[in-house]
Structure 1
Amino acid sequence: MRKSGILSKQYLCRGLFQRGLWFFSSSDEVELKAVAVNVTIQDFVADVVSELFFRNRLQVSNETVFVFPVDSNTVVHTFYATMGDTRIEAMLWEKEEAQQLRKATSGMKNLRYLQDQWDLWGPVFACFLGSLPPDREVTISLCYVQELPLQPDGAAQFCWPYELFPQVFPWRRYDSTDQISSEEIPKNLDFIVCLKSAHGVSHVDINCSYTPLQYIAPDQTSAEVSLKSSPWLHSDLNLLVYYRGSHSLSAVVERRDPKAPPGSLLGDPVVMVTLRPYIPEVVPNPGQLGEFLFLMDQSLFHDAQNTLLFLLKSLPLGCYFNIYSFGATFKAFYPQSVVYRQESMDNAVRRISSISPGLGGCDLLGLLRSIYSTPLLQGHPRQLFIFIQRKISNEEEAVMAEVSHYRDQHRCFCFSTCDSFNLSQAMALETKGECVCIHSNMNMTSEVMKCLQQALQPPATRISLHWDLPPGLEVSVIRKAPEMIFQGHQSFIYAQIHGQAQDPEMGEGAVTLQYHVGSQSFDYTLRFSLSPSADDRWNEDLTPCPRKLSVHRMAMMHLLWKLFWEGTNRAEDIWHSTVKSSLSLGVLSPFTSNVAVRVKQRNAGHCDSLPQDSCMLFSPCNLVPCQLLWLRGSQPVWFKSIKFWMLQKSQFCLETLGHKAPDTEAPTQLSASCREQKPPPEEQVMEEPPAFNMSWDWPISPLSTRLCDFSRLRAVVALQKANGSWALTAALASALGLSKADVEGQRPNENVQTTVWATVLALVWLHRYKWKVSWSELLEAKARRWLYDQAEVQLEECLEAANRLLGCFVEPIIFRI
């Protein structure tokens, strides 16, 4: 474990947590002795109450610090540490006052030192706990609420890091089928999970030994399970919860706080609706295919030319697209996104070489703000393909704030090198996209085309919710439905229920989800109870955490950020109301900040919350370094050694050697045809670029047959039309390794159109080399679709002639759509 260099402090943080961030863990010298965790999972929200007991095994005192992540799907509302009769509690305070208190806190510079010294990256809460004496214990109490991700099979996934399990039997590991006697069940592991769903709990899947699922309610809407051991093979706990029935729509209503005034968020019931639309595998109608934006880091451009060509050729007719290059400044190919057709595609291909390599600044933030300021195109989901190489050292937090603000309006696919991996991963996770770490240009093309296949899957669009409540009640939506939901994803909607029902006997409400997938429309209606049973899962004296209000806390987090982005925090009444709500629920907001205090307890077992209005607590001697930090570490999580990285760089050098295409007519004719075509007025470019250079200017290696084949593949792809067809030209024949006379002479008969014959020939050739590269799948699909749309096409005769001419045997299944 790495030491900081300041007072040789040993940090209690190591190990990865879900979503690529990291969580509290023990160093080798501070042993995790026992764990008590209670988790309540209701549909797709988890409420976690945990106590961690650590002991310093050193013979000297050990400086310790507690660190945990604060992402957009988690609300950590309670944290305190107890060492003997000393208690340290983190609480929220109005931001300006908290800043004044920090000025009086000694050691804050040590806390900020973590920002540049830590190996990992992201927004975290950090609190120094001080010196832990030899052979003494510290108890960490942590409570948080978290929205759970949806798995492809419909399960709700809850994770807990392996480092937060006590090592009871280090010499043996159990799997979930092992029979463990009661004497062997560890006494220092108390891990209980309570499951609730109106749909009913079906079963669970856990990667460790656990007790049989015990149903608490006769209708199986409530169940409980306990862990018997930690996960095997040093894995994180992975708990999957499966529910019964349809999962397209679910609702959880949480009762109001009787102590809060009606009309406030706490004083009204809050409903959380989970949207998981069913999306069939259909082909969307033209005009509903999406807006694809390609953001290219100029310093990465030379290695991405092939990838950009494949992307442009693989887009479907009727979608919208644009290409941006960014460095110290950014430029767009078009002032706004244009329709994908032959003219716009040819123009974009020609403009690729206008992207000049640049090693200056990296204005990704300015580019994103420019994109987000342009209106969304109705029926065209926005998806960003971001290629980034350089580290953005000073604007990462601002970039993530912008991405988070618009996360329901777009999706990011990020392709990065080592330096920018963490930021890229965070952007992709925030928008439910994908992130790929690039280690060679060949790897880049393959991974990008896989992501494009995913991006072309039809999403649910035009999403709307309609409420039906008893007379006297109305709904105020806190977080509205997103612009789109993709296959396998979900979205959480929070709403506040106002008013008083005129008829108390009417205790049910209903919500209807409506959405479209292509030309198909869907709607689901769910009825839910407005009088949920009280959550008596834990008594108040069992845990020091405030009364459980998990749905209210998640709703409060979204409400506070909504008010912040709307700028309504300037109004005095709204500002005071939001600050008060933030403090009462322990929900961190743009208006509040963390403050930690150290006090001596009269009774070491006394666990009541510290009064925030007690001025004596905030004397300088009681203040503890505590702050929300943005760590700027740059080490990616999966590069395990320098040796591994060097092997990847060696592969990159070998693969880029010899990428010059054979001397064919394709580059010349392509450039000439592009120059002859002029875009329509709405697609006029900002400046006239030079012709696209298809020679790629890389030295040829006669020893690399694979790379020569790849050069021919590029030439064939460059000649494909936007609609998926090929023209019968000498350039195509040369790219296929044939003469034009041979190609024309082998045409089955005069009734076969030359374009059909050329398309079949190119399709068979692409399919023949598919075992070498998988990037041509989308190009083949476009060609098949074009052939399918042609009238009276003699495909069998064309296929037989193509097999004979190319010396291969491809079966007719190649034409199946």
Structure 2
Amino acid sequence: KMNCCGLLTAQKEPVPLKSVEVELEVRDHVATVVSTLNYENKEDKPLEAVFVFPLPGDAAVCHFSATIGQRQIVAEVKEKQEAREEYDDALSSGQQAFLLEESEQSPDIFSLSVGSLPPGESASIRLEYVTELAVQADDGLRFCLPAVLNPRYQPQGASVQVTSVPASLVPYSLSFSARVSSPRPVSKVESNCSLDPLQYLNPEQTQATVKLAAGHKFDRDVELLIYYKDAHQPTAVVEAGQASAKPGTLMGDPVVMLSLYPEFPQAVMSSVASCGEFVFLLDRSGSMDSPMDHSKRQESRIGSARDTLLLLLKSLPMGCYFNIYSFGSRFQHIFPKSVKYSQKTMKESLKKVEEMGADLGGTEILEPLKHIYSQSCIPNQPRQLFVFTDGEVGNTKEVISLVKKNSGSHRCFSFGIGEGASSALINGLAKEGGGHAQFITGTDRMQPKVMQSLRFALQPAVVDISVTWDLPKGVSVTVLSPPITALFQGQRSLIYAQLTGESSKAAEGCVTVKYSLAGHPSQNQLHFSLKPAEDTGLTVHRLAARTLIRSLEMEERERRGEQDKGVKKKVVEVSVQSGVSSVFTAFIAVNKGDGEAVQGPLVRRNVPTPSECGIPGALEIQGSDRRAGTGRTLRSQLAKSQEPRAKSVPPSLLNKQSGTEPKQTPRDPLLQLVSLQKASGCWVLDPALAAALGKTRKKVNQEVWATILALIWLHGFKVDAQDEWQLLAMKAVSWLRAQNASCVTECVEAGNVLLGCNVKKDVLGL
């Protein structure tokens, strides 16, 4: 059995996937992606290629077709087993066939089987999906075209042979172009890859195109960040139903997509909670040793996570409780149960955090979560869980179900670190845990994003959320989205709903979101016209179908013990009707041309997906020695591989490379200052340092003097990183106020002179 995973054939010929073309159309916050994969069989016998690739976790795959020679065949969505049988029958009888299916374990991995390409033949496959773009900490909308399919760590240990395919050997090229349009001007588009300059298509700058600079090797995720002016406006899009579908069905009726951005009263927002139980869960699997991005120069994922934990621990409010768990193949915790936050417990945990390496093997996230949930909650200390992982797990659905089951007792904030983090896992944790998800890739600093999440965690929880509709007579509404469980200031909440019935042309509807915040009832309203928008195609319908399918799949998993066939049947029905894939259906296309039976055995090739640092990307799929006319084959299982363990570099090597002792890299001055702060919020001066910093005329309390100096330094030199240190500065200010020191004004003046700054007292908040 060949063991090179279809990277090269027996004749050392390159694999059949030649190139990938991607066109992206972004309308406001919805993206439609069309990918074309071009294959060519250069061998002298018929080929079956299997290509396993990632897609964004909440994508709705809505079109799949193949062109062979002059002939185009469009795939249909069918129940999965039926589709597989049709694929096998087609190959057995000498027809070409294509099968696209979603992985059972994780909704962001698909496998594509290209059946029986005759020698010398080319095929081009077109795949289309729609997805919503998430809002980032800096208000950018993030689109990611995943290239990196890291091997997902499988807890159950089924064996699949995997060989490395270094990214440099990925033989196919990528061309990528994007068109962006929105009611508001596009201010900029950024990317982790080189882009040609943004081209505006109109004077209002509400439409623009951008493309990847030529020569991009598709060896890493392509990430685009799109910024609009004034992005936080609530909007409603009503999309007309499909003319051919019958009224009353999801595809036959109009569907509305609402984007809500709740605004909370300022008074509530400025009072930061001073309680809570903060549980930090850090991934220490081998892959966390990888660099943050592709440049290899950057600090490792685990290093970045350690720095972030430092900032988090310093920013916690006095009076709260906390604990830190870390996991790999097994898990550890710093304290047997959450402890009260104090100088002593903070110091002890920071010491332990500094020693944490990526040395715990695989990614068993389920066990530590079960352990955390088994601990009883502390009265009046709402539990907030922060999960840091590079997201390479195979049991995504199980993990998300566990979080959902416990969503009544906590909020879960998730952080996907580095390229290839599973969007299905990271988004799923936050969505089901009523929290917020962040993705942190190469050039991003983790700190601002994590501090934004901490600010969200300190915001009072929004409770009693209800959505009410006011529609004209004759129009009724069916909400397709699951109920909203969490609202955060300035973050988008989406609602999809089907509108049934007729209304007069000029009619408008109104939706009201009511909720209670820190004991105050509040509401936000949005009025919208029921007249369908022009030519949006069926994008909104497909996203709505996807939303409905995902919640039904979740329900089906929860009821699995009760033999409930009804839910599964409904998923298949919605999926087939809307043409959007689900876990129970697949896309099947058969070329019913005048095929003669394929001669000779089919050779099966597994097409590599690019991978970082030689981590395997191509997946050896369990064997099928398929001959023409023989029956069904073993169906492929997705890779179930162990993560590579972290390798340590011998110190002698380090010395040679850098010519220095293997010391830690010099610490960022901001983090250095932060690490000296006490849990209460103040800083302390050594007498020696006090002397060096110049004596003030009166005998000043040294902690007051040190704390004022630290605040001046932060405002004077680190104002651009203010979102990172804002919370710990607030803590320092409230500590200072509590001291009632008389000489604050003199200290601020002296501190400015000493540090060469000019920071006013009121800017410091004193």
Shorter-chain TM range is 0.5 to 0.7
Looking at structure 1, the residues matched to 91 and 504 of structure 2 have their Cα atoms a distance apart, in angstroms, of 57
The alpha-carbon deviation at position 235 of structure 1 amounts to 9.1
Looking at structure 2, the residues matched to 526 and 785 of structure 1 have their Cα atoms a distance apart, in angstroms, of 39
Matching residue's letter, 1:466: T
**Residue 125 of structure 2: which of 133, 136, 140 is its match?**
140
Offset from partner CA, 1:360-383 (integer Å, 9 cap, x none)? 775421223455688899996835
User: Which residue number in structure 2 is paired with residue 758 of structure 1?
Assistant: 703
Question: In the superposition, relative to structure 1, how do residues 319 and 266 fare at CA in structure 2: closer, same or farther (>3 Å)?
Answer: farther
Offset from partner CA, 1:74-126 (integer Å, 9 cap, x none)? 1112223232377776554435556777898999xxx99x99xxxxx962332
User: Which residue number in structure 2 is paired with residue 125 of structure 1?
Assistant: 111
User: Which residue number in structure 2 is paired with residue 254 of structure 1?
Assistant: 239
Question: In the superposition, relative to structure 1, how do residues 434 and 362 fare at CA in structure 2: closer, same or farther (>3 Å)?
Answer: same
Give TM-score scaled by structure 1 length: 0.60
**Residue 782 of structure 1: which of 707, 724, 731 is its match?**
731
User: Which residue number in structure 2 is paired with residue 671 of structure 1?
Assistant: none
- Asked if the contact 2:712/2:752 (under 8 Å) is kept, the reply is no
The alpha-carbon deviation at position 816 of structure 1 amounts to 0.9
Looking at structure 1, the residues matched to 467 and 659 of structure 2 have their Cα atoms a distance apart, in angstroms, of 50
Q: Match of 2:480, SS? A: strand
**Residue 580 of structure 1: which of 562, 566, 573 is its match?**
573
The alpha-carbon deviation at position 536 of structure 1 amounts to 8.3
User: Which residue number in structure 2 is paired with residue 795 of structure 1?
Assistant: 744
The alpha-carbon deviation at position 311 of structure 1 amounts to 3.7
Offset from partner CA, 1:679-734 (integer Å, 9 cap, x none)? xxxxxxxxxxxxxxxxxxxxxxxxx9x689999969843xx243x136xxxxx554
Two-structure CA RMSD over aligned residues (Å): 6.2
Offset from partner CA, 1:636-672 (integer Å, 9 cap, x none)? 9xx9xx99xx879977995646xxxxxxxxxxxxxxx
Looking at structure 2, the residues matched to 313 and 491 of structure 1 have their Cα atoms a distance apart, in angstroms, of 31
Asked whether 1:532 is paired with 2:532, we answer yes
Asked whether 1:555 is paired with 2:547, we answer yes
Q: Match of 2:568, SS? A: helix
Q: Mapping of 1:18-417 within 5 angstroms?
A: 41-48=26-33, 64-84=49-69, 91-95=76-80, 123-131=109-117, 133-134=119-120, 136-150=121-135, 200=183, 202=185, 208=196, 213=201, 231-232=213-214, 234=216, 247-257=232-242, 264-277=249-262, 284-287=270-273, 292-296=278-282, 311-317=312-318, 321-326=322-327, 330=331, 341-342=341-342, 346-347=344-345, 349-350=347-348, 359=360, 363-371=364-372, 382-386=384-388, 395=395, 398-399=398-399, 410-413=412-415
The alpha-carbon deviation at position 274 of structure 1 amounts to 1.6
The alpha-carbon deviation at position 573 of structure 1 amounts to 3.5
- Asked if the contact 2:237/2:533 (under 8 Å) is kept, the reply is no
- Asked if the contact 1:122/1:630 (under 8 Å) is kept, the reply is no
The alpha-carbon deviation at position 264 of structure 1 amounts to 4.7
User: Which residue number in structure 1 is paired with residue 470 of structure 2?
Assistant: 468
Please say which of residues 77-86 and 256-265 is displaced more in the overlay: 256-265
Looking at structure 2, the residues matched to 409 and 264 of structure 1 have their Cα atoms a distance apart, in angstroms, of 36
Q: Match of 1:253, SS? A: strand
Looking at structure 2, the residues matched to 481 and 101 of structure 1 have their Cα atoms a distance apart, in angstroms, of 38
User: Which residue number in structure 2 is paired with residue 594 of structure 1?
Assistant: 586
- Asked if the contact 2:277/2:383 (under 8 Å) is kept, the reply is yes
Question: In the superposition, relative to structure 1, how do residues 368 and 791 fare at CA in structure 2: closer, same or farther (>3 Å)?
Answer: same
The alpha-carbon deviation at position 322 of structure 1 amounts to 3.1
Offset from partner CA, 1:731-784 (integer Å, 9 cap, x none)? x554x6459xx79x967547x6x4xx4232244268669979988775444223
Looking at structure 2, the residues matched to 800 and 548 of structure 1 have their Cα atoms a distance apart, in angstroms, of 59
- Asked if the contact 1:204/1:240 (under 8 Å) is kept, the reply is no
The alpha-carbon deviation at position 563 of structure 1 amounts to 2.7
Matching residue's letter, 1:758: E
Unaligned runs of 5+ in 2: 93-97, 149-174, 190-194, 289-301, 431-435, 596-627
User: Which residue number in structure 2 is paired with residue 5 of structure 1?
Assistant: 4
Offset from partner CA, 1:769-804 (integer Å, 9 cap, x none)? 997998877544422332245546321334567789
Please say which of residues 576-585 and 474-483 is displaced more in the overlay: 474-483
Looking at structure 2, the residues matched to 647 and 437 of structure 1 have their Cα atoms a distance apart, in angstroms, of 26
Question: In the superposition, relative to structure 1, how do residues 233 and 95 fare at CA in structure 2: closer, same or farther (>3 Å)?
Answer: closer
Matching residue's letter, 1:784: V
Q: Match of 1:563, SS? A: helix
Specify the structure having the higher radius of gyration (Cα): 1
Looking at structure 1, the residues matched to 261 and 44 of structure 2 have their Cα atoms a distance apart, in angstroms, of 54
Give TM-score scaled by structure 2 length: 0.63
Looking at structure 1, the residues matched to 675 and 423 of structure 2 have their Cα atoms a distance apart, in angstroms, of 33
The alpha-carbon deviation at position 527 of structure 1 amounts to 2.0
Question: In the superposition, relative to structure 1, how do residues 138 and 306 fare at CA in structure 2: closer, same or farther (>3 Å)?
Answer: closer
Question: In the superposition, relative to structure 1, how do residues 653 and 250 fare at CA in structure 2: closer, same or farther (>3 Å)?
Answer: farther
- Asked if the contact 1:158/1:239 (under 8 Å) is kept, the reply is yes
Looking at structure 1, the residues matched to 262 and 14 of structure 2 have their Cα atoms a distance apart, in angstroms, of 44
Unaligned runs of 5+ in 1: 12-25, 116-120, 164-188, 538-545, 604-618, 658-703, 727-731
Looking at structure 2, the residues matched to 481 and 653 of structure 1 have their Cα atoms a distance apart, in angstroms, of 57
Looking at structure 2, the residues matched to 436 and 159 of structure 1 have their Cα atoms a distance apart, in angstroms, of 12
- Asked if the contact 1:67/1:124 (under 8 Å) is kept, the reply is yes
Matching residue's letter, 1:128: V
Offset from partner CA, 1:383-432 (integer Å, 9 cap, x none)? 505378xx97764664467679999953213568xxxx744787556646
The alpha-carbon deviation at position 142 of structure 1 amounts to 2.0
Matching residue's letter, 1:317: M
- Asked if the contact 1:516/1:522 (under 8 Å) is kept, the reply is yes
Offset from partner CA, 1:421-463 (integer Å, 9 cap, x none)? 744787556646445689xxxx9xx966555433343477526
Matching residue's letter, 1:527: H
Of structures 1 and 2, the one with the larger relative CO (CA 8 A, separation 6+) is 2
Question: In the superposition, relative to structure 1, how do residues 284 and 464 fare at CA in structure 2: closer, same or farther (>3 Å)?
Answer: farther
**Identity across aligned pairs (percent)?**
26
Question: In the superposition, relative to structure 1, how do residues 816 and 214 fare at CA in structure 2: closer, same or farther (>3 Å)?
Answer: closer
- Asked if the contact 2:63/2:75 (under 8 Å) is kept, the reply is yes
Please say which of residues 351-360 and 569-578 is displaced more in the overlay: 351-360
The alpha-carbon deviation at position 68 of structure 1 amounts to 4.2
Asked whether 1:816 is paired with 2:735, we answer no
- Asked if the contact 2:54/2:147 (under 8 Å) is kept, the reply is no
Looking at structure 1, the residues matched to 73 and 274 of structure 2 have their Cα atoms a distance apart, in angstroms, of 55
Question: In the superposition, relative to structure 1, how do residues 230 and 325 fare at CA in structure 2: closer, same or farther (>3 Å)?
Answer: closer
User: Which residue number in structure 1 is paired with residue 297 of structure 2?
Assistant: none
Q: Match of 1:322, SS? A: strand
User: Which residue number in structure 2 is paired with residue 507 of structure 1?
Assistant: 507
Q: Mapping of 1:707-786 within 5 angstroms?
A: 716-717=676-677, 720-722=678-680, 724-725=681-682, 732=684, 734=686, 737=688, 749=698, 754=701, 757-764=702-709, 779-786=728-735
- Asked if the contact 2:83/2:588 (under 8 Å) is kept, the reply is no
Question: In the superposition, relative to structure 1, how do residues 484 and 383 fare at CA in structure 2: closer, same or farther (>3 Å)?
Answer: farther
Q: Match of 1:786, SS? A: helix
Question: In the superposition, relative to structure 1, how do residues 580 and 550 fare at CA in structure 2: closer, same or farther (>3 Å)?
Answer: closer
